[in-house]
Amino acid sequence: MPFHYAIGFAVLFGATIGSFLNVVIHRLPLGQSVVRPRSRCPHCSWMIPAWANIPILSYVALRGRCWSCSAPISLRYPLVEALTAVVFVGVLWVAPSYTRLFAHWALGAALVAVAFIDLDHKIIPNSITLPGIVIGMALAFVDPPPGPLDALLGVLIPAGLMFAIAEIYERRSGAIGLGMGDVKLVAMLGAFLGVQAGFGIMVLGSLLGIVHGLIMMLFAGAGRRTRIPFGPALCLAGLFHIYDPMLFPGLIERLLP
């Protein structure tokens, strides 16, 4: 397939997956099925037909309002669809093989869902991270790198370090600093990307988390006791490492003399 056709496919496929991710983000934390019933307006319960559920385009055509009751539709829906399309194009650009392409598309979709669920509910569902760890480990046997040992160390060492930090902080302060969802998220990323990337995600994710916290303090009135989700920062760091596997070593080389 010519590359410009592949980009078009990635945009369409990514936006379609993004439409499904909107359902996952809304329903999964509530313990609801992500398959049934069909999508409906939360205001009037109008069952949304296929023509009104086309990613991005339907939102534009409906001018951001429900066709039945004219209630406003959240801008988040087309934003998630567009973001997923961008993520898929980025993965297509750097994927070393077809196997890694589809696997990292799945990983990118999982990261988008995790980021928004954590923002909304401050949880990271096990139903995403635990199967992700298994898939990442299986992928290491099918299409390395990372190989099986690298993937296994990527699960155990960065996640184990985060677990130790979380335990020490909780015992000394009496408060929860890192949730176990964050630990499992790093383990999933380490399974897909290897131990070196796992460490890089921890470092970059921590920096992004600090920036997020400062923004929340400056513009949203957050205080020292405010719970700020760490998952979105880790997800963004994970995407950076999908796009540039040598990001962490490159940073180290530039920082050290």
Query: Hey, where are the domains in the chain?
Result: 1-94, 123-257
Enumerate the H helices of the chain as residue ranges: 3-27, 57-61, 76-94, 98-121, 126-142, 148-173, 180-193, 195-219, 231-243, 247-255
pLDDT band at 169 (very low <50, low <70, confident <90, very high): confident
Listed range (175-179, 205-209, 238-242) with the worst mean pLDDT: 175-179
* Omega of the bond leading into 37 within 30 degrees of 0 (cis): yes
pLDDT of residue 119: 94
Q: Cα dist. 197→41, 60, 129 in Å?
A: 41, 39, 17
Alpha-carbon span 40 to 25, nearest angstrom: 15
Mean pLDDT, rounded, for 189-201:
94
In this predicted structure, what is the pLDDT of residue 108? Answer: 97
- Please tell me the predicted confidence (pLDDT) of residue 90: 92
Supply 38's token pair.
């069909």
Residue 255 has pLDDT above 80, yes or no: no
146 prior amide bond cis, ω within 30 = yes
Lowest average pLDDT, out of 27-41, 149-163, 190-204, 213-227, goes to 213-227
pLDDT at 222 over 80: no
Q: Give the mean model confidence (pLDDT) for residues 74-94.
A: 95
Note whether 71 and 65 are within 8 A (CB). Answer: yes
Query: Tens digit of pLDDT for each residue in 120-153?
Result: 999 999 999 999 999 999 999 999 999 999 999 9
Model confidence at 250: pLDDT above 60: no
Predicted local distance difference test score (pLDDT) of residue 51: 86
Q: What is the mean pLDDT of the chain?
A: 90
The share of the chain scoring above pLDDT 90, in percent, equals: 69
Higher confidence at residue 188 or residue 225? 188
Cβ atoms 18, 12 nearer than 8 A: no
- The whole model's pTM is what? 0.91
